[in-house]
Amino acid sequence: MYTKEIYKKEILQKIKDHGYDPNTVAKITYNIFMKHQREIDHEVYEKLLDIANMEMGPEFEMTEEEFNQFLQKM
């Protein structure tokens, strides 16, 4: 089962390594979603899609602070 804890650890490591960029975070999240889509915890499924949608335009993007708050509430 792919859980929110696994996602948080994985995405935070990517951000640490490469810095925060909403489009990059969205692309990474979409790739994670596609790779694990059959094993994603139901609670996490919609959240990952919300994050992946940041790539659709600036109106969907989160600042780094907003993204960190989103992860905390996840």
Question: Rounded to whole angstroms, how far apart are CA atoms 27 and 25?
Answer: 6
Question: Rounded to whole angstroms, how far apart are CA atoms 40 and 5?
Answer: 11
pTM score of the predicted model: 0.90
Question: Rounded to whole angstroms, how far apart are CA atoms 62 and 59?
Answer: 9
Per-residue pLDDT tens digits for 46-70: 999 999 999 999 999 999 999 999 9
User: Residue 41: what pLDDT?
Assistant: 86
Which band of pLDDT confidence, cut at 50, 70 and 90, is reported for residue 15?
very high
Q: Is the distance from CB of 39 to CB of 13 less than 8 angstroms?
A: no
